[in-house]
Amino acid sequence: MKIFNDLADFTTDEIRELLELANRLDAHPEPQALRGKVLALLFLSPSLRTLASFQAAMTRLGGGSFVISPGMSIHGIETRPGIVMDGAAAEHIREAVPVIASYGDAIGIRAFAERKNLEADMAEHDFSALTSLIDTPYINMESAMNHPCQNLADWKTLDDLDIPANGGKFVLSWAYHPKALPLAVPASSLYMAAKRGMDVTVLRPEGFELPEPLMQKARQAAEASGGSVVETDDRAEAMQDAHVIYAKSWSSTLHYGDKLADQKLRTGLEHWCIDEPWFANARDDCRFMHCLPVRRGVVVSEPVLDGPRSVVIHEARNRMLAQMAVLYQMLGSET
Amino acid sequence: MKIFNDLADFTTDEIRELLELANRLDAHPEPQALRGKVLALLFLSPSLRTLASFQAAMTRLGGGSFVISPGMSIHGIETRPGIVMDGAAAEHIREAVPVIASYGDAIGIRAFAERKNLEADMAEHDFSALTSLIDTPYINMESAMNHPCQNLADWKTLDDLDIPANGGKFVLSWAYHPKALPLAVPASSLYMAAKRGMDVTVLRPEGFELPEPLMQKARQAAEASGGSVVETDDRAEAMQDAHVIYAKSWSSTLHYGDKLADQKLRTGLEHWCIDEPWFANARDDCRFMHCLPVRRGVVVSEPVLDGPRSVVIHEARNRMLAQMAVLYQMLGSET
Amino acid sequence: MKIFNDLADFTTDEIRELLELANRLDAHPEPQALRGKVLALLFLSPSLRTLASFQAAMTRLGGGSFVISPGMSIHGIETRPGIVMDGAAAEHIREAVPVIASYGDAIGIRAFAERKNLEADMAEHDFSALTSLIDTPYINMESAMNHPCQNLADWKTLDDLDIPANGGKFVLSWAYHPKALPLAVPASSLYMAAKRGMDVTVLRPEGFELPEPLMQKARQAAEASGGSVVETDDRAEAMQDAHVIYAKSWSSTLHYGDKLADQKLRTGLEHWCIDEPWFANARDDCRFMHCLPVRRGVVVSEPVLDGPRSVVIHEARNRMLAQMAVLYQMLGSET
């Protein structure tokens, strides 16, 4: 494996193999597997789980890592192409990325969407501009539309909890948040659940529809896997017999990149805070999933988040295990 | 060992065993002992020695660590319970701590006292609120009233210097500092010296008495160990035949949490800067100890700090060795 | 090896041995060589390549490292000697450096020139003040006038590219930059190329002459190695038949420490941006070297930097390999 960028690049069998590997490495540690191997970690956007879990993953496999984020240095890092660098920035990303990559056997890169233009973000213009600079194996640690490490961890969580692949009902629900957030998690989680074979319902208010190409990609995956994908703004219909609700706030796609219009649209949607009444007609053991960080009392009520439905810590720990499997396949065979 | 929080949780024999282990690991490195093991390091308060020495300790034992501090991320971390998170903070400590802990085989946590209410700080309300969130083995890297890694290192330093346990005179002295500082080091050092069997004199100006429950805890330890604990504001009396002076500034306990009253009380105490005349009637080889960081010319004079009495660098290096022993006992037997 | 501070401390044979070791470690990794060994990394000045490449180097050899930079802590670090510390800084470099060093088997230190007084900087007053505090083996990660890790990496790059030692023409050229930058890289690169036996031409505008003692040191090295050192402000003469141009901006030595006078002197020198016409009478395969970070369109044109002449990424990767060799010699024989 040279690139881990999108679950769509892997067959379901390959994903299942990664998850078996994750389980095996959890049960039977291999602290020599990646000895002497280096993972470069480049964060152009903030992180807590990803930052910690990748470092932990490399240590558990006997290797190591280093972290670079622009805030660590007074060298500002310029990202604009073709610019005359006579301002504050002393270094351009065109040197920084290949150099950082050259110190690693692989590199993880995080760069959130610019969120000015939906087509550019859907095409992953910014992330591709970075990865086009390197030949090093790389891992997408969250880009405009992808978060494959989160997706792999979530798939594992669904497996761990014995939530059925075929026949399991997965509700991907928009939730209220004061800010316009990226699409990467909802977009890629939608695809993950569909590829796993689940019956996926996207629950969202008007103006927050996911982009049609993403819905289309998910429907195709569902067709192949025996799952299904539907979309609604009717909460009761969505939650009916649900096995799991995967909550996440995201930007209005109707007003993508327009902060004021997005703010206006979300005003009055504060009741999209997942609380216990949401589960009235779900399965008794319906689970609550969220990728974290999550705002208590805003995105989800405290009783739900702290109660038995919530598996958010389990999901977060699975980030580390999923990433260990990816790193093992990417770096382990070189020795 | 699952928890390293307070020297009071250990018998003197257990402490001596830890110190023998520290010496053994210094003389005979075991760079494979903790291979593949991960220590999570969570700093909710600033650090230099602790930050560096724990990372070095894990490397020396063949494992690794990762560091999280709130300043590393634009995600602010909310600590207040039961709050609706509609402000700046994107993550709550109730998720952050269990998640970070889940990536480690153990977690070290530093969280200084809030210093509003002495009873709350004495009860370790804040630190307990954090550790109650996790099942992971943990190490107290300094809380409101405890700093067990410092204490263990200091005990080792006293041993290294052949300062007698029974019959050794240990002067814990308040020193001037422009700011009101936490009680963790004086409180826990007092207990350490008493438990070691030393004759402890607490030397402090009026208004800076250590809280009675801490004095009581130390007196009980002294009773069991054959030591003693007294308190005075008379420098000559305190320093008479002293083997060691352990200097530290701390908050006024009379005006705990009241910055203005504390400032007023310490004005005029600038002569509580440990300089050579303090040692006039001490033993010739009386040592100067301090946990660092220390303000030169304020807490201690340059000639004392740079002279042969000072063992502050020795103490600081012992932090690493003491922590190696703790980590070895906590993580080494799992393999 | 206890100290790696200046290429001048090593014979040419010793340097060649280090470079052979670097090549061997690249071809045949030794991920157990430094197991359990710790490198302390102290950055008193900003870094990207050095920060990343030293961490990667230690991991590749099976050891580890930790990083301390003053910005990581709210403890400000005081550097002035003999001061009463009643201001913001809570810790003095006289404690901080020995403590940090005590956790490492070796320490790397970066401290840029103060750039107030050329003689003081030439004498390495500040860096010597730091290293005089420790007995630990140390590596200069860039001081006022030295950057030996960069020099070793650049020597290796010249070897890798088969650029002749004797008979190879090395042009060290000043380049435009909006700010007055340190002399460490030009000063030590000049020496490196001369010691390698090359024919060195220093190309710079008036007022930017390198200090005579540095020129003298380089001329002596050239005499011993069969190389030569000349100086000019005539670009065509300098570039004639050049094998390589090593570009770098630096402070005016005429107005050292005087920012306004330096600014005035460099105004109008914006055409000292290395672009393709510079290479008109150079060898066809003349290379472009730069230590990075570099300002595109200011120090060098985009076509040159992105074109086949540029070996800047190769140079940067060689930082890691050169440092692995240094670390291996410094720490590998202790076991």
Tell me whether C35 touches chain B (CB under 8 Å): yes
Give me the half-sphere count of Cα atoms (radius 13 Å) on the Cβ side of residue A104.
Answer: 30
Q: Which residue of B has its CA nearest to A69?
A: B72
- Domains in chain B, start-ordered, CATH in brackets? 3-147+319-334 (3.40.50.1370), 162-310 (3.40.50.1370)
Shortest Cα distance, chain A CAs vs residue C269, angstroms: 14
Q: Which residue of A has its CA nearest to B73?
A: A46
Kindly give, in sequence order, each residue whose CB lies less than 8 Å from that of residue C149, ignoring residues fewer than 6 positions away.
C4, C50, C139, C140, C141, C142, C319, C322, C323, C326
Strands C38-43 and C106-110: parallel
Give me the half-sphere count of Cα atoms (radius 13 Å) on the Cβ side of residue A40.
Answer: 29
pLDDT for residue B334: 46
Contact A103, C320 (CB under 8 A): yes
**C-beta atoms of A66 and C56 within 8 A:** yes
Closest partner CB to A293 (pick from B75, B83, B100): B75
Q: Which residue of C has its CA nearest to A87?
A: C178
Interface list for A 74-103 with B (CB within 8 A): none
Query: What are the two backbone dihedrals, phi and then psi, of residue C236, each rounded to the nearest 5 degrees?
Result: -60, -40
Q: With beta carbons under 8 A apart, name residues in chain C contacting A76.
A: none
Closest CA to B60 of B15, B25, B89, B84: B25
Q: Which residue of A has its CA nearest to C270?
A: A86
Q: With beta carbons under 8 A apart, name residues in chain C contacting B63.
A: none
Interchain CB contacts (distance < 8 Å): A and B: 97
**C-beta atoms of C68 and B62 within 8 A:** no
Tell me whether B295 touches chain C (CB under 8 Å): yes
| C334 confidence band (pLDDT: 50, 70, 90) | very low
Beta-bridge mates of residue B77: B91
**C-beta atoms of B63 and A59 within 8 A:** yes
Tell me whether B133 touches chain A (CB under 8 Å): no
Q: With beta carbons under 8 A apart, name residues in chain C contacting B175.
A: none
Q: How many CB atoms lie within 10 A of CB A56?
A: 27
Taking the C-alpha atoms of residue B118 and residue B109, their distance in angstroms, rounded to an integer, is: 21
Q: Which residue of C has its CA nearest to B310?
A: C95
- Across the range B123-149, mean pLDDT stands at 97
pLDDT for residue C74: 52
Q: With beta carbons under 8 A apart, name residues in chain B contacting C95.
A: 292-294, 312-313, 316
Contact B47, B110 (CB under 8 A): yes
CB burial of B60-85 (b: ≥16 within 10 Å; e: otherwise) equals: bbbbbbbbbbbebbebebbbeeebeb
- B185-237 pLDDT per residue, tens: 999 999 999 999 999 999 999 999 999 999 999 999 999 999 999 999 999 99
Q: Which residue of B has its CA nearest to A299?
A: B85
CA B213, B214, B217: angle at the middle one, nearest 5?
A: 85
Q: With beta carbons under 8 A apart, name residues in chain A contacting C47.
A: 73
Tell me whether B40 touches chain A (CB under 8 Å): yes
Closest partner CB to B292 (pick from C73, C89, C99): C99
CA B226 to chain centre: 23
Contact B42, B110 (CB under 8 A): yes
- B1-30 pLDDT per residue, tens: 999 999 999 999 999 999 999 999 999 999
- Across the range C148-177, mean pLDDT stands at 98
**C-beta atoms of A66 and C55 within 8 A:** yes
- C45-64 pLDDT per residue, tens: 889 999 999 999 999 999 99
What are the residue ranges in chain A where pLDDT is below 50?
334-335
Taking the C-alpha atoms of residue C244 and residue C256, their distance in angstroms, rounded to an integer, is: 28
Taking the C-alpha atoms of residue A257 and residue A115, their distance in angstroms, rounded to an integer, is: 5
What is the token pair recorded at B143?
A: 């809380």
Closest partner CB to B98 (pick from A48, A302, A313): A313
pLDDT for residue B143: 97
Contact C296, C238 (CB under 8 A): no
Kindly give, in sequence order, each residue whose CB lies less than 8 Å from that of residue B4, ignoring residues fewer than 6 positions away.
B138, B139, B140, B148, B149, B326, B330
Shortest Cα distance, chain B CAs vs residue C112, angstroms: 21
**C-beta atoms of A100 and C47 within 8 A:** no
pLDDT for residue C259: 93
Q: Which residue of C has its CA nearest to B295?
A: C85
Taking the C-alpha atoms of residue C78 and residue C89, their distance in angstroms, rounded to an integer, is: 6
Q: Which residue of A has its CA nearest to C47?
A: A73
Tell me whether B72 touches chain A (CB under 8 Å): yes
Contact C160, C232 (CB under 8 A): no
Contact C186, C250 (CB under 8 A): yes
pLDDT for residue B178: 95
Contact B244, B163 (CB under 8 A): yes
- Across the range C6-21, mean pLDDT stands at 98
pLDDT for residue B76: 74
- Across the range B295-305, mean pLDDT stands at 97
Shortest Cα distance, chain C CAs vs residue B241, angstroms: 28
Distances (CA, A) of A306 to A303, B90, B137, B307, C21: 5, 17, 22, 56, 56
Tokens 């204490």 belong to residue = B151
Query: What are the two backbone dihedrals, phi and then psi, of residue B232, each rounded to the nearest 5 degrees?
Result: -155, 165
**C-beta atoms of B52 and C40 within 8 A:** yes
Shortest Cα distance, chain B CAs vs residue A55, angstroms: 6
- B245-298 pLDDT per residue, tens: 999 999 999 999 999 999 999 999 999 999 999 999 999 999 999 999 999 999
| C69 confidence band (pLDDT: 50, 70, 90) | confident
Closest partner CB to A64 (pick from C64, C292, C320): C64
**Eight-state DSSP code of residue C211:** P
Q: What share of chain A is helix, strand, coil (3-state, %, to 5)?
A: 40, 15, 45
Interchain CB contacts (distance < 8 Å): B and C: 99
- Across the range C152-156, mean pLDDT stands at 98
Taking the C-alpha atoms of residue A42 and residue A141, their distance in angstroms, rounded to an integer, is: 9
- Across the range B129-158, mean pLDDT stands at 98
- Across the range C240-247, mean pLDDT stands at 98
pLDDT for residue B79: 86
Query: What are the two backbone dihedrals, phi and then psi, of residue C322, each rounded to the nearest 5 degrees?
Result: -60, -45
A111, A117, A121, A123 alpha-carbon torsion, rounded to 10°: -140
CA A190 to chain centre: 11
Please determine, for the modelled complex, whether the ipTM score is greater than 0.90. yes
Kindly give, in sequence order, each residue whose CB lies less than 8 Å from that of residue A244, ignoring residues fewer than 6 positions away.
A158, A161, A163, A168, A169, A170, A171, A286, A287, A288, A289
What is the token pair recorded at A247?
A: 């909550």
Average pLDDT of the residues of chain C? 96
| Angle formed by the axes of helices C49-60 and C312-331, nearest 10° | 50
- B57-94 pLDDT per residue, tens: 999 999 999 999 876 655 678 888 989 999 888 899 99
